[in-house]
Amino acid sequence: KERVFSGMQPTGSLHLGNYLGAMVQWIQMQETHECIYCVVDLHAITVWQEPKELRHAIRQVTAAYIASGLDPKKSILFNQSQVSAHAELAWIFNCVARLGWLNRMTQFKEKAGKDRENASVGLYAYPNLMAADILAYRATHVPVGEDQKQHLELARDIAQKFNNDFREQIVAAGHEDGVFFPQPEPVITGPATRVMSLRDGTKKMSKSEPSDMSRINLMDDTDKIADKIKRAKTDMEPAPPTDIEALKARPEIDNLVGIYAALAGISKEEGLKALQDTASEGPSIFTGLKRVLTEVAVEKLGPIRAEIVRLMDDPAEIDRVLADGSARARAIAVPILADVKDIVGLIRS
Ligand code: TYM
């Protein structure tokens, strides 16, 4: 049976990369699949979070989920720390995953930076908790942006090693094929699986980039969105790219076309055509693209922002959604964790 799981960290406000790289796919999959969407608060505290701001961010990301179109009746929306199965399974996975596997994780190297001795142990073990998030539900499909690909490969390795290490017990428990955990499949689709910074086409759009001009936040108002797009970096070439291959060689333009296509719900080819068709508008060849991009960004993001603001007016209601979602998540994860404990040889009451 197919089951979808994915999550976002409540660190600061969400941006266009989160929305186009993940959320748009989440919303679509909600129509065809059983979906579980998590606010991964335990992942957030792998780096320091001011408690008051963390609490606010957990609610705000939940509000952003709902405002973007996730329906708490169709999908399970909850926060990770309310379902202790995640942390428990993560411990077991800490004992399955190998140091050598984690040492290869590029995101740890980026986030820990030069002062690695001073990074939290949680930041290092982060991918094991992520594997636990997914496998606590035996989820089969994980819609994410491209930057999560390596973490998902690790989750697949953990699932496989667990199945191998405990094969005999898994078969004895009635799984004749010896497969307890499925191999979760990454779902990385759409024209914007890797949204880049508006200031530097070689860096991904991210919450941790110091310059706010590098990203469009879901909480940005119309003027901010327009200003950021207007000042987005382009290049000095005299003509628009002739085809998709030529577009790829121009990272800033590629990024703007990809964002436009994703927001407008069209293919990248059609996005490129819009750039070519408007190139004579002037004064720059990109003025027209920036105009249509601003229009569609404001049209899509404006209502989401307004709805987040409205939902944040009633934090108690958001907390109720999370409590309800957590209870439904627990109902799935607790029996799976009980099976895992039996398979491993732990005693439970
Ligand atoms: P996070 O919180 O960094 O990002 C949430 C989602 O947004 C995607 N994303 C992007 N997509 C395209 N372009 C970008 N510039 C961009 N920036 C972010 C991410 O790929 C992600 O899908 N480790 C995860 C959270 C997590 C998780 C999980 C995901 C924890 N447990 C289990 C899936 C399944 C993370 O830090 O995402």
| CATH code, domain with 166 | 3.40.50.620
One domain for residues 132 and 18: yes
Nearest CA to 36 among 2, 59, 60?
Answer: 2
In a domain, 28, yes or no: yes
Instruction: Find where tokens 């992942």 sit.
Output: 43
Do 146 and 47 belong together in one domain?
Answer: yes
Check if 52 is active-site.
Answer: no
Residue 235 CB neighbours (<10 A): 12
| Average pLDDT per 10 consecutive residues for the chain, totaling 349 residues | 96 94 97 97 97 98 98 98 98 98 96 94 98 98 98 98 98 97 96 95 93 97 98 95 96 97 96 96 94 98 98 98 98 98 97
| CATH number for 272 | 1.10.240.10
User: Which residue has the least CA distance to atom 20 on ligand 1?
Assistant: 145
Reply yes or no: is the peptide bond before residue 283 cis, omega within 30 of 0.
yes
Binding site members for ATP: 9-11, 17-18, 145-147, 195, 204-208
Let me know whether 120 and 183 are in one domain: yes
CA torsion through residues 213, 219, 225, 227, sign: negative
Atom 7 of ligand 1, residue of closest alpha carbon: 18
CA–centroid distance, 179 to ligand 1, in Å, is: 27
Note the maximum CA span of the chain. 73
Pocket of ligand 1 (CB under 6 A): 5-9, 17-18, 21-22, 40, 43, 130, 133-134, 142, 144-145, 147-148, 151, 193-195, 204-206
In a domain, 206, yes or no: no
Active site residue 341: no
Question: Residue 204 domain-assigned?
Answer: no
The answer on 336 and 276 residing in a single domain is no
The answer to whether position 276 is within a domain reads yes
Task: Tell me how far the alpha carbon of residue 76 lies from the centroid of ligand 1, in angstroms.
Answer: 18
Q: What is the DSSP string of 237-294?
A: -SS--SSHHHHHT-HHHHHHHHHHHHHHT--HHHHHHHHHHHGGGSSSTTHHHHHHHH
- Domain residue limits at 301: 212-309
Burial annotation 100-133 (CB, 10 A radius, 16+ → b, else e): ebbeebeebeebbeeeeeebeeebbbbbbbbbbb
Same domain, 152 and 282: no
Burial 305-316 (b: 16+ CB within 10 A, else e): bebbeebbeeee
Overall domain count for the chain: 2
Out of 124, 144, 146, 197, mutate this one to test ligand 1's pocket (max ligand atoms within 8 Å of CB): namely: 144
Whole-structure pTM value: 0.97
Q: What is the pLDDT of residues 134-171, one digit of tens each?
A: 999 999 999 999 999 999 999 999 999 999 999 999 99
Do residues 92 and 217 both lie within one domain? no
Residue nearest to atom 27 of ligand 1 (CA): 7
Give the ipTM.
0.99
Helix axes 251-264, 287-312, angle to 10 degrees: 50
> Is residue 287 situated within a structural domain?
yes
